[in-house]
Amino acid sequence: MSRPRVFLGALALSFLAVGGAEAQPRRRRFRRTMPRKLPTKKPEKKKPEKPKKPDRWFAVHAGWVHTVSGAVRRDVTILAKNGKIFQIGQDLEIPKKAEVLDAKTKHVYPGLIAYSSYGIVGFSPADSTDVFGLNLVMGLSAGLTTVGSGGTIAKLTYGTLEGHLVGRAPRLVRISYRDSRSKRRTRASFEKVRAWMREMRAYTVKKSRGDKEAKPPKPLSGMLASYHKLMQGQGYASVRASSTKAIRDVAHLALKYGFKLQISGGTEAYKVASLLGRVGARVVVVPRGRPFSWGYRPPGMAKLEWSIENAAILHKHGVQVVVMPRQRGIGTWGLAGNDLFTLPLEAAFAVRGGLSQNEALKTITLNPAKFLGVADQVGSIEVGKDCDLVITGGDLLHYQTLPQWTIVNGRIAYDKQKDSLLRHVRPRDLQKGKNLELPQLWPRPKGSKQPEMPKREK
Amino acid sequence: MPKKPVTPKKPAKFVPPKVPDRVKAFMALIQKPDEAPLILIEMSMAHHMVHFEDGFKDRIKAMQPAFYFGRSWRGSDMFRVVDRFGKLQANVVLYPELTFEPYTRTRRNVAADLVKAGAKVSFVPRFDSEREYRSLLPQVASLVRNGLSREAALAGLTKNPAEVIGLGAELGLIKKGYKADLVFLSGDPLAPGTKVTRVMFDGKQSWPETKRKGGGR
């Protein structure tokens, strides 16, 4: 006798669903004969029109354009509108008010991206970046255009705060998996989450069968909630692991619980490259060996066998690699070549280890953009992406190459001949007296008129 | 069975939080920039001005602040943003010194750069000591020798500082209606060797002292 009741109940529901709260004329079931009353549009209030800012155009005539995501294009023009790449091609129509840069004999690369840094943009970039700061200028002179700093991603916009902030870096779930205690704890937490997911599934099944006494399990909170998100495939887990055993163990953990893994350190990652490839891991490596800069190895820490072929082997097995130097800042202390001032050199060492040229470029442009979650905006030269370019006279990964111009958001942020830092090193278009434009006030330049002195009264 | 429509609770009447006294001045600054009191903003690096403009945007012109290039300024890069002060036609209080471009030995006359960009300068000595006050005029004279216009230099010692402290209608000019606070010099104020011969306050000579009434020797 429950069936007719259920049937009537369904009918009643359908009538109510169709009829709703309004009084509507009776109509045949499942067929609409009366047109539904459409909601009338309110007349839009006219907002006072703001004066439109004129578009800002910027064009670069380039000899070689290394798009990184695609082919190398020869003899093309990159046209940027309001800081974003508008067109790439030959014989483009360039607006009259555009700022044009002639780099017909030069190579153009996408602006370099540092996955993490300190001291270049301010601690809280919106409030404290020194947009004229020395570290910023040195970063630009090395080709850096975007850096991740703390949890924020910012651009090296010299002299202006327009377009400085890009966004927040995606939150990574830190997993501690080093010693036996932390391993036990982490495994226990994942097991807890798995048990909770089983309970949740059981409850869902019971509810769909009509069991009214089914109770959902208590919602997860804190660390367990973030582990749950990981196991659902959202976001990456970040682990510091350098030795083979540590990397292997954490990779097996990722396989078992199905989360995405990002490893930093990764000195011996090449030994378990195939496993990492199967896991779909991402690695932030230092091509030249140990990730920390001090020479002292604490007792008990295993001696790590680093290899220059680390990045190359990882890439061969399908692992996404980001190259970082040992020091994440820019400084003139200690040994040169250890910090972000020589980021292309780090990628060159990866090439030395067997990585291809374009892949090495990717490790300092497109891959850091992907890791930071801004690959739709920066990282390669494509229409629609930001106009962040590095223009060099030769191969960027050559040790003698110094960027000639660095363009951020369609503005020339660094010009090697105008900035005082490196203009004396292999000056561009060397002509006598033309390149060294120093605004000289003291001592007064030869030939300038002496200002009139007040005469002393006798 | 359909659920009974739940009438949403009417939100309680919004009671704005009480504004602490120390914040009231800033609130007035943001809400009513035209009625702002005299404002002096201290900054020492060029990026301070960039951040300030980014934060306050259009309100700055209504606020009409004066700027003070404060303490750690000898090697600062303030000259990089003089055009922003020029656009605001701002009054900039600074020390009458030639500075260096950061990390270099290239001299920079920031006062001259500011005046050329359209701003006004007011000079203050670095310290509140007799020695600094004695060297004020010679220091300003050295700025004039290095590119600052004479008119701007003299205005920076008289008219502009009066405007900064809000007494621009009474002090700073020799004009009808202004206070008779005058200084008499033996020659051109910017020439070396010029001495002060007389000082007058409110029309009465205060230095050198005239005969005292009663008492004394």
Q: So what's the ipTM on this one?
A: 0.81
* pLDDT at residue B217, rounded to an integer: 46
The model's confidence at residue B10, banded by pLDDT at 50, 70 and 90, is: confident
Task: Give the type of residue at B210.
Answer: T
Radius of gyration of chain B (CA): 25
Cross-chain CB nearest to B147 (options A441, A453, A455): A441
User: Cα separation of B206 and A204, whole Å?
Assistant: 95
Which helix (DSSP H) or strand (DSSP E) does residue A352 occupy?
helix A343-352
Check CB contact of A163 with chain B, cutoff 8 Å.
no
Confidence of residue A19 (pLDDT cuts 50, 70, 90): very low
pTM, two decimal places: 0.81
Query: For residue A246, what is the DSSP state?
Result: H
pLDDT for the residue numbered A411 = 96
User: And the tokens for A346?
Assistant: 């780090």
Report CB contact under 8 Å: B193, A130. no
CA distance A312 to chain B (A): 41
Give B30-83 pLDDT, tens digit per residue. Answer: 788 777 778 899 998 999 999 999 988 888 888 889 999 987 566 788 999 999
Q: What is the pLDDT of residue A51?
A: 76
Q: Count other C-beta atoms under 10 Å from residue B26's C-beta.
A: 10
Residues of A in contact with B109 (CB under 8 A): 441
Q: Which residues of B touch A (CB under 8 A)?
A: 2, 45-47, 50-51, 54, 77, 80, 98, 101-104, 106-109, 144-147, 150, 186-188, 190-193
Are A140 and A167 spatial neighbours (Cβ–Cβ below 8 Å)? no
Chain A partners of B2 at a C-beta cutoff of 8 Å? 16
CA distance A47 to A45: 6
Three-state DSSP state, A17: helix
Most confident of A377-381, A442-446, B22-26, B207-211: A377-381
> Are B80 and A159 inside 8 Å of each other by CB?
yes
